[in-house]
Amino acid sequence: MTAQAASLQTASMEGRYRLLVDAISDYAIYMLDPEGRVSSWNAGAQRFKGYIESEILGEHFSRFYTPEDLAGGIPTKALSTARAKGRFEAEGWRVRKDGERFWAHVVIDAIRDQQGQLIGFAKITRDLSERKLAEEVLKRSEEQFRLLVQSVTDYAIYMLDLEGNVSSWNAGARRIKGYEPDEIIGQHFSRFYTEEDRAEKLPQKALEIAAKEGRFEKEGWRLRKDGTRFWANIIIDAIYLEGGRLVGFAKVTRDITEKRQAQQALEQAQQELFQAQKMEAVGQLTGGVAHDFNNLLMAILGSLEIARKRALDGKNVVELIDNAITGAKRGASLTQRLLAFSRKQDLKLVAVDAPALVRDMAELLQRSIGPAIEISTTFPLSLPSVLSDPNQLESALLNLVVNARDAMPGGGVIAISASKHSLRPKQIPDLPGGEYVCLSVQDEGEGMDAETLEKATTPFFTTKGVGKGTGLGLPMVQGLMAQSGGRLIMKSVRGQGTTAELWLPVAGSNAVPEPVKQAPSQAPLPHLTVMAVDDDSLVLMNTALMLEDLGHTVIEANSAEEALRLLGQGQLPDVIITDQAMPQMTGVELAKEVIDRYPGLKVVVATGYAELPGGEGGNHARLYKPFTQAQLNDALSTALGFFQ
């Protein structure tokens, strides 16, 4: 390459560099002579500084500095640094032509010739005003947040490092915990925990959960500096950098001792109120039960007393004995109502022909209400069967009829009717849409006002006066309806009587009404040896008499221990009938012991409960008290498998 060609190429490259520098508008790129005067000016410089090339060439670059920097000799120091070290770099405020300030990043590089002589400086300036503004906003925000955290006194807010050491401490932490910042920063946060919690390593577990799940929250006892305890709500949040690296934890603690004490006081007050209400209900129930049982016992005792006198005179006492038996059965029915209310009974839901059920119990209903009350029934020619428990539905109807009778002390008419309805969803609250039969009992009594009507189905509430009812009748009916998928609706207006509606779902199209129960056919029982076990001597004697009257031999035992002793002596019966509720060993426990020792020996458990406590009983035959001789005979047949 010739010298001329090389010169041309060099000139060409310099031109291209010149075009490149002049085209850049995001950076101010210009040259300074050794004294600091501007010797070149690009488009970026013109945009940042506001000067056109003709205005600034030959001027000293110090005019871009603020008065404060000029007074501090910053421009001179910048050139001195660049001259000595080859480069100067800094950020600071600079001034545009119009006097406006902007935040600039400045680089000044020294330019030397081939012999090392300084010939000037290259200066590059970048406008970082937007970044500076964002940083200032962030700084102010962080400062405000710091002041906010430091000013909070109701919450202890502080930071923990990865090991659990305290790294910051706010005013709330100082107030709640009692430590000054210089006393606690750098200390492990476990010192706030009780000895019991530290022994179980709860502080470490809390950090592990926070690190794993991002958050830990719990309530518990914590310690102040003076050793006193307070009940705290604790939240620990894991702190991560943008890359996901865990760098520590934020911990917020709130003293909720007063809140906990208030909650405990409220719960105590609620418990005391509940206890008072329960005792009031028990008192009302006791009065009602006592009234009903006294009436029944009066009938039983009176009948038996007269029967005894007539029997001594050789007179017929069958009617009196039947009267006593009827009273006893009513007492048993009352007991079953109490048990059913206290324990949810399993219902046998089957298709029930409601009109047929009412007709079958017509005699019972009329006998229950007396001659002063008339019962009228109205049923359509065709009515679908309903889904219910027939025995419980009979009891519910009887209860409603008796209530209607009591509402008409001067006599009147009780109307029993039924009709089919197609309900839309939510047409009647708590009932889904579908086909229903409404079975109603209407009286001509005084009726109820709105307040009484609202309380009518409340357990233990009764309008029959103190000691004249248990207040369980309508709640029992309501429970039956709920379990049957229906609803009890009471309608009444003062002076216009009361109507009780039983809304029952229609049974499925494939359901067939349950036939009238027939007594199971059974083979005549052979002569048996039966061991009767009961801690009540009267019940034991009565059971033994019924068994002997059935033609069986009876071994009597007044406790489970005596029963085991007699068995151990070789007095082995064909079957054992044992009471459930006995001291030391229950009937179910005796049955288990007997079967373990004498496999194959049958046991019947007699109980006065609706179900055995705790769901006990296994597969043993059951006999529910009070029982008749026929029920006793059936229990023996069931236990020994004599049903055909």
Three-state SS for 396-453 is: HHHHHHHHHHHCCCCCEEEEEEEEEEEECCCCCCCCCCEEEEEEEEECCCCCCCHHHH
**Residue 115 · residue 101 · CB < 8 Å:** no
Residue that the structure tokens 């210009």 belong to: 30
Model pLDDT for residues 384-425, shown as the tens digit of each residue: 999 988 878 887 888 888 888 888 888 889 999 999 999 998
Taking the C-alpha atoms of residue 383 and residue 282, their distance in angstroms, rounded to an integer, is: 42
Distance, CA of 64 to CA of 193 (rounded, Å):
61
Helix (H, G, I), strand (E, B) or coil at 241: coil
Mean pLDDT, residues 210-236 taken together? 92
User: Across all residues in the chain, what is the average pLDDT?
Assistant: 82
H or E element: which one contains 235? strand 229-240
Least confident window among 168-172, 402-406, 460-464, 566-570? 460-464
Average pLDDT over residues 361-387: 85
The pTM for the full model equals 0.41
Q: Report whether pLDDT(298) > 80.
A: no
How far apart (Å, rounded) are the C-alpha atoms in residues 632 and 623?
7
For position 166, what pLDDT does the model report? 92
* pLDDT tier for residue 223 given thresholds of 50, 70 and 90: very high
- Euclidean distance between CA atoms 42 and 163, whole angstroms: 55
Lowest mean pLDDT across 29-33, 316-320, 335-339, 515-519: 515-519
- DSSP structure string for 317-366: -HHHHHHHHHHHHHHHHHHHHHHHHHSPPPP--EEE-HHHHHHHTHHHHH
User: In this structure, what DSSP letter does residue 471 have?
Assistant: S
- Of 216, 192, 219, 196, nearest to 206 by C-alpha is 216
Least confidently predicted of 70-84, 412-426, 503-517: 503-517
On whether the CB atoms of residues 102 and 126 are closer than 8 A, the answer is: no
Q: Could you give the 3-state DSSP secondary structure of residue 394? A: helix
pLDDT digits (tens, 9 = 90+) for 251-280: 999 998 888 888 888 888 877 776 665 566
Of the ranges 238-242, 264-268, 462-466, which one carries the lowest mean pLDDT score?
Answer: 462-466
The SS3 of residue 374 is strand
CA 583/CA 349 separation, integer angstroms: 37
For residue 573, say if its preceding peptide bond is cis, omega within 30 degrees of 0: no
Rounded Cα distance, 77 and 422, in Å:
99
Give the C-alpha separation, 108 to 378, whole Å.
112
Among the listed residues 147, 140, 45, 142, the one whose alpha carbon sits nearest the alpha carbon of residue 102:
45
Q: For position 456, what pLDDT does the model report? A: 67
Closest by CA position to 43, among listed 79, 18, 60, 61: 18
What digits encode the pLDDT tens for the residues 551-593?
Answer: 999 999 999 999 999 999 999 999 999 998 888 899 999 999 9
Given pLDDT bands bounded at 50, 70 and 90, which one contains residue 228?
Answer: very high
**Beta strand pairing status for 28-32 and 498-505?**
unpaired
Name the strand (E) or helix (H) holding 88. strand 87-95
DSSP code for 61: G
| Encoded amino acid at 217, one letter | E
Q: Band of the pLDDT at 437, cuts 50, 70, 90?
A: very high
Query: Confidence band (pLDDT; 50, 70, 90) for 362?
Result: confident
Mean pLDDT in residue range 306-323 = 83
**CB-side neighbour CA atoms (13 Å) of 222:** 25
Top mean-pLDDT range of 109-123, 441-455, 533-547: 109-123
